Structure 1
Amino acid sequence: MSDDQVASSPRGSKTARGLTAQGGGAQGKAAGSQTLARGLLALEAIAGQPQGLTVNEVAQRLDVHRTIAYRILVTLAEFRLVVRSSDGRYRAGSGTVTLARGYAAGVREAALPVLRRTADELGATVALISAEGDEAVAVAVVEPQTVDYHIAYRVGSRHPIGVGAAGLALAALRLPSPGEPAAVAEVRERGYARTFGQIEPGAFGVAVPLHTADPALHLCVNLITAREDVVDAAVPVMRAVAEEIAALG
């Protein structure tokens, strides 16, 4: 059998098809990597804009056609990484919370001893609160062991961001936006929030935002008590606690 016959044999054709498939596979991987990179860039851009981005704005940021941007956003939305609001803008979705929890869990574990010490020192319940979408969620709650009576709540308790001391502290971690409540700007300026009766009737709250190395991770430390004298003494302590925990993270 000649070399020409070998090259034209079915076996030779099969090998050629295999080489073509391998080449196509490499091209497919490159295309897949590009799509992944674009998706991550889109998610990063949206997460950095509390007001969200439109499809056209995402397309401009990625330098791609609007149709491609739309397909990327649809895929991200399927995994709840982004959500399309009624105004047509895409904002970070609940799926990003799951991604962030791995890092937040490390901060939580590091914060617990500090929270226990502070709760006992001030005689009030102290918590670490995380922003999850438009809600403030308690990820760690420590009750004092030094007093017989205190206000308490459970891990997982949540309320809207912008309401209560913790909600205001978390809102202050966001970029300033037109029309935001004056109370948020005040918290951003003075570095802490203090409220009365906004979440629990008759309860005072003090919360301080955490300025961690990761600006996308929005956390605050929060104290709740029925005693005004405790709140008066708590502000400088809570500010120091927030700095300590932020340094641990």
Structure 2
Amino acid sequence: MNDQQAATKSARAAGSQTLARGLTALGVVADAPQGLTVQEVAERLGVHRTIVSRILTTLADFHLVTRAGDGRYRAGAGTVVLARGYAAGLRDAVLPVLRRAAEELGATVALIAEEGDEAVAVAVVEPQSVDYHLAYRVGSRNPLGVGAAGLALASLHPPFPGEAAELAAIREQGYAGTYGQVEPGAHGVAVPLRLPDPATRLCINLITARAALARDAVPRMLAAAEEIRLLADGVA
């Protein structure tokens, strides 16, 4: 191996190490909803804080992380763009599952994605077998942590001090149920989706004005979520 080949190999190794550190830093920050300081990230990566500071600055330049006023880094809006291609493929794959659930339950069923601090409807299926049902449009947004879908998505984050008390119950029982939090008189049932990529946070959500339907829909919604999970293994 000549000097030029050796230099090229060394440069590639250094580049791979930098990329690996950057991806690892992004992962640990994305898994910490309460945010992490430069020192905390450095400790988790086992490297000097000066190196981590440069990595986080670069990630922030591409909006993959964001530095809040408290000095802690959190996942940035750019992570949504990275997940969008995967989510789009999954959305197309799960539409038949949503249609079957909507028809069997006689209620609107939707696929909801987390984008930043909001829950966004990316696919909405209305039942054709009933004359009356509640509905909303694709692109509808609600704050994360509000309503069944917002709570279901929030439950996909690791537990953290000070989080809403109901999130622990949602993680244990596998679904969120609410009444009137987003729309007066509306019941919501949402099931968080456990996907191969934990950074892609999605849930399925049912909305109805009928309390009995919302209560009885839970087993069917859980079954739909499990079917989607199996589909996601093939999409990933």
**Pair 1:220 & 2:215 matched:** no
Deviation at 1:26, TM superposition (A): 4.4
Identity across the alignment (%): 69
- Provide Cα deviations, 1:92-139, integer angstroms capped at 9, x if missing partner: 111111111222222211210010111111111100111222221111
Pairwise CA distance, 1:25:
4.6
**Structure 1 CA distance, aligned partners of 2:172 and 2:203?**
15
Give the equivalent residue in structure 1 for 2:135.
Answer: 152
Question: Partner of 2:44 in structure 1?
Answer: 61
Q: Does 1:203 align with 2:186?
A: yes
Which residue of the partner structure matches residue 16 of structure 1?
none
2:73 corresponds in structure 1 to 90
Work out which of the residue numbers 142, 147, 160 in structure 2 matches 1:177: 160
Instruction: Tell me the secondary structure at the aligned position of residue 58 of structure 2.
Output: helix
When residues 23 and 214 of structure 1 are mapped into structure 2, their CA distance, relative to the original with a 3 A threshold, is closer
Q: Which has the higher contact order (CA 8 A, sep 6+)?
A: 2
* Deviation for aligned residue 1:22: 6.4
The CA RMSD measured in Å over matched residues stands at: 1.8
Give the Cα–Cα distance (whole angstroms) in 1 for the partners of residues 106 and 84 of structure 2: 29
Deviation at 1:29, TM superposition (A): 3.3
Residue in structure 2 matched with residue 99 of structure 1 by the alignment: 82
The structural deviation recorded for 1:21 is 6.5
TM-score (norm 1): 0.86
Q: Residue 217 of structure 1 aligns to which amino acid in structure 2?
A: T
Match of 1:136 among 119, 122, 125: 119
Match of 2:18 among 20, 35, 55: 35
Aligned to 2:146: 163
Offset at residue 213 of structure 1 (A): 2.9
Distance 1:83 1:205 in 2: 32
Residue deviations 1:34-83, cap 9 Å, x none?
22221111111111222221111122233332222111111101111001
**CA offsets 1:154-179 (integer angstroms, 9 cap, x no match):** 11211111110011111112212112
Deviates further, 201-210 or 21-30: 21-30
2:220 maps to 237
The answer to whether the aligner puts 1:47 opposite 2:30 as a matched pair is: yes
Q: CA deviation at 1:247?
A: 1.4
* TM-fit CA distance, 1:23: 5.5
Q: How many residues align?
A: 231
Asked if structure 1 preserves the Cα contact closer than 8 Å seen for 2:31 and 2:157, the reply is no
What displacement does 1:229 show? 2.5
Whose radius of gyration is greater, 1 or 2? 1
Q: What are the ranges of 5 or more consecutive residues in structure 1 without an aligned counterpart?
A: 1-18
> 1:78 corresponds to which residue?
61
Specify the code of the residue in structure 2 equivalent to 1:129.
I
Segments of 4+ moved more than 6 angstroms:
19-22
Report deviation, 1:231. Answer: 1.1
Structure 2 length-normalised TM: 0.90
**Structure 2 unmatched runs, 5+:** none
Q: How far apart in 1 are the matches of 2:46 and 2:195?
A: 32
Residue 206 of structure 2 aligns with an amino acid whose one-letter code is L
Secondary structure of 2:123's aligned partner: strand
Superposed CA deviations along residues 7-34 of structure 1, whole A, max 9, x for unmatched, are xxxxxxxxxxxx8766655443333222
